[in-house]
Structure 1
């Protein structure tokens, strides 16, 4: 059965390239190796949200505002690719900050975002998109950027108390990508019957299946069994033919030897051939 899940394409996003969609780690490594570190990035996010939510505190037309907005949206898109490609389930209560008391202490004393006392970008990403979908996150970022740039509110109490939630989710998403960067990937809990297969292996398997179909190869196990039976029958027929040929050769050789025993060494070649023919014709 073919995989019916739609593949993500660059045209679905504002900033992602095909390379980023194929391997989100390309962007994640570049950002945390070349652009900034998690502490400075957390401060940038915090400042952007505060000044964007309350125009009186706006920092105006600083070019950093546009850069930071661009990077935050791009990181949302990267996280969305991970969310979809890994098939992460939505969280039934995304506003739950801590699952255990240890998670609370990890956050309070070291700003370590954990789930059941372990770093879990898996949990952070699925909560992010359980709170609101990507399209609404686009709208949130556009509104913040507009208020920050124009230094005026686009509506009375436009964000309200939700601005606290928005800031927390943006910072947590940044940490999710940072944890993925540090770990070199993301760990996902899977049922025991699931076998792990890389995308390359999956694509190679699909390519082989398509090749078999185009060549008229077997499509299911019944076809394979039929082909196996046909090959076995053909091999058995060849073996029988080879055995019969070998028996006939041995018989003829024996008859020639028997005829030779009756030959006189002084007889002519013609007489010898006549004797051999008579021997072969005898029962």
Structure 2
């Protein structure tokens, strides 16, 4: 609150100073005054300050506002619920005779002739089913299927075992020369070199060897400077100072004709 009063006083002082001609010393004193930090004014009502107090005008409601302020009325055609669940039946209704169509529609729907009740959980086996005997065809169909007899053998017939556990030699086929040549495993190349052993002997000449100056020079890592290390963007090389632009460069430096304005 004290900061707001201080700001209002400073604002009035500024307005008065603008109306009255100030001397050079008073103007310097005014300019030397620090600016007010508006971010500290947290409780201010608005960013627009006024010298005079706000005067609120009282006005009445219009006819439309009064109409909208009224509560919604019940529709004239609205009928309340019946007072009781027991409705009075007229005498004409009691003496009425239904038509044949109404009697037909009033009949309950019958169950379909094809409808069958659900079977019980435990089925009952009849005595006739217990005393019956299966036919030879039924016995044949009841046997489990032998999948091994109908399966395709994975090995040729000549290499299958017989009942005695020996291989059958009914059809013996001798391989051709090409088959025997293809069956020979592939040999290694004469110049093929196997991987070196992990642990191998180091000769004495390698242990006592001295590196040359060239090897030491190549063994040193490269010195890489950073991007902006020793870089002067305002430095112009001597060659660029004595360079002459070519006719093509001069042509490209000129602005287009649509942007050239002649006085």
TM-score of the two chains, using structure 1 as the length reference: 0.16
Higher helix share: 1
Task: From the CA coordinates, give the structure whose radius of gyration is larger.
Answer: 2
TM-score of the two chains, using structure 2 as the length reference: 0.16
Highest relative contact order (Cα 8 Å, sep 6+), 1 or 2?
1
